[in-house]
Structure 1
Amino acid sequence: MTWEVLSMIGTAAFAISGAIVAMEEEYDIFGVYILGIVTAFGGGAIRNLLIGVPVSALWEQGLYFQIALFFITAVFLFPQRLLKHWNRWGNITDAIGLSAFAIQGALYAANMGHPLSAVIVAAVLTGSGGGIIRDVLARRKPLVLRSEIYAVWAIIGGLAIGLGWGQSPLELYTLFAAITLLRILSYTYQWRLPTRSFYDRDRHLEQ
Structure 2
Amino acid sequence: MPRQSDNRDRILGTAYQLFYERGFSRISMDAVAARAGITKRTLYNHFDSKDRLFGEMLKRQSTLAVARIKTWATQQGGSAEDFVATIFERLAAWSAKKRWEGSGFTRLALELADLPGHPGRTAARRHKAMIERVFADELRRRGLKRPEEAARALQILTEGATILTLIHGDSAYVGTAAEAARAVLKGN
Structure 2-normalised TM-score?
0.36
Larger radius of gyration: 2
| TM-score normalised by the chain length of structure 1 | 0.34
